[in-house]
């Protein structure tokens, strides 16, 4: 049933929902934070492992069934009920711990990562649209990973990279240059590295201290997440990168994958082949090759491709709002 304007005006602003839910989660015994999310742990036993204490605390909140999740997210989406939002957050806190543990080798203070992941979870709950067909846990995982990764990278930029041009140049090239010299049978001492990279020996010493004896604790070639081609190194050097845009793009890709089969079923044989060869193939066939196959002009295939793209856009608009 559609709500009238008066009813709609009572729905809380999503930013208010996010803040109130965040305040509730911060008051959990194991996660009491300042405005900067510096985690202070409460534990009955001063020698208790903070992470163990936290996990015991959140285990009180059992996982929701698919039916429970669907019912709650629908109510939240339609009413903005903050108590419902809190329930969805609390019963998904285990997901944050699971994801945070994946970054344990990158950043040792897992509780810091969990705190940031919790913020990502709350953001996901406040933005989630159940009508788009993606499970909340899947949608939330992108937000959780993004907040954790952003926290790691912000700290990494601050502590590791430094601010001078020499420091930035060394950050991206020191380890590579050491590996290159070692591969050539040359001992990679500071003098040689400084000469090859055009920086001072003092700058090399400083960066080695920042990176630690074992080298960088983060792989610059590691991908942001399984379905992203963006690497950590690219993110660190690209201040224009938007984690939120990446999350939304990944959600769109998943929705497209889910509904693409039905879209293809509704096409005639020629349109389906054109779509598959031009838009789905890893190496798209040329317009001329497809035109020759069907005995039509290259321009005709281009028109079909354009029509199919417009048709797909209209089709997907039903699922992405």
- Of residues 211 and 50, the one with the higher pLDDT is 50
CB 160 within 8 A of CB 232: no
Task: Say what the pTM is.
Answer: 0.47
Query: Per-domain residue ranges for the chain?
Result: 5-154, 162-217, 243-316
The predicted pLDDT at position 306 comes to 85
pLDDT of residue 318: 66
Q: What percent of the chain has pLDDT over 70?
A: 59
The token pair that represents 27 in the structure block:
């008051």
Q: What is the pLDDT of residue 151?
A: 80
Q: DSSP assignment of 33-71, as one string?
A: E-TT--EE---SSTTS-HHHHHHHHHTTSPPPPHHHHHH
Least confident of 84-98, 133-147, 235-249: 235-249
Determine the average pLDDT of the residues in 222-236: 48
Average pLDDT score over residue span 310-318: 75
To the nearest whole number, what is the mean pLDDT of the chain? 72
Provide the CATH topology of domain 5-154. 1.20.120
CATH class assigned to 243-316: mainly alpha
Mean pLDDT of 27-42: 37
pLDDT band at 262 (very low <50, low <70, confident <90, very high): confident
Structure tokens at 183: 């591969």
Q: Which of 67, 73, 59 is nearest to 28 (CA)?
A: 59
Residue 74 vs residue 183, higher pLDDT? 74
Q: What's the farthest any 2 CA atoms get from each other in the chain?
A: 79
**What local confidence, expressed as pLDDT, does residue 270 receive?**
92
In this chain, the answer to whether the domains covering 5-154 and 243-316 adopt an identical fold is no
CA 261 to chain centre: 26
DSSP symbol at 159: I
End-to-end CA distance of the chain: 19
266-292 residue pLDDT tens? 899 999 899 888 877 756 788 888 999
pLDDT at res. 19: 56
């Amino acid at each position: 049933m559609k709500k009238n304007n008066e009813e709609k005006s009572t729905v809380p602003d999503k930013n208010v929902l996010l803040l109130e839910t965040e305040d509730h989660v911060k008051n959990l015994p194991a996660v009491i934070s300042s405005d900067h999310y510096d985690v202070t742990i409460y534990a009955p036993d001063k020698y208790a492992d903070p992470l163990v204490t936290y996990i015991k605390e959140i285990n009180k909140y059992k996982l929701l069934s698919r039916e429970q999740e669907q019912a709650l997210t629908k109510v939240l989406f339609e009413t903005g009920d903050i108590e419902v939002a809190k329930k969805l957050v609390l019963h998904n806190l285990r997901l944050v711990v699971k994801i945070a543990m994946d970054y344990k080798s990158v950043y040792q203070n897992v509780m810091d990562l969990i705190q940031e992941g919790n913020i990502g979870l709350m953001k996901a709950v406040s933005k989630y649209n159940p009508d788009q067909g993606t499970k909340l846990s899947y949608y939330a995982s992108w937000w959780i990973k993004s907040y954790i990764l952003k926290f790691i990278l912000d700290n990494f930029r601050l502590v590791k990279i430094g601010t001078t041009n020499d420091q930035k140049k060394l950050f991206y090239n020191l380890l590579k240059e050491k590996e290159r010299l070692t591969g050539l049978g040359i001992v990679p001492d500071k003098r040689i590295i400084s000469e090859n990279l055009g920086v001072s020996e003092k700058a090399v010493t400083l960066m080695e201290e920042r990176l630690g004896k074992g080298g960088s604790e983060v792989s610059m070639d590691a991908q942001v997440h399984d379905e992203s081609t963006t690497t950590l190194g690219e993110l660190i050097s690209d201040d224009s990168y938007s984690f939120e845009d990446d999350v939304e793009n990944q959600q769109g890709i998943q929705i497209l994958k889910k509904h693409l089969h039905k879209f293809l079923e509704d096409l005639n044989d020629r349109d389906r082949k054109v779509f598959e060869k031009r838009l789905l193939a890893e190496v798209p066939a040329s317009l001329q090759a497809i035109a020759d196959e069907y005995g039509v002009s290259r321009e005709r295939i281009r028109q079909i491709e354009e029509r199919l793209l417009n048709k797909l856009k209209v089709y997907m608009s039903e699922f992405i709002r």
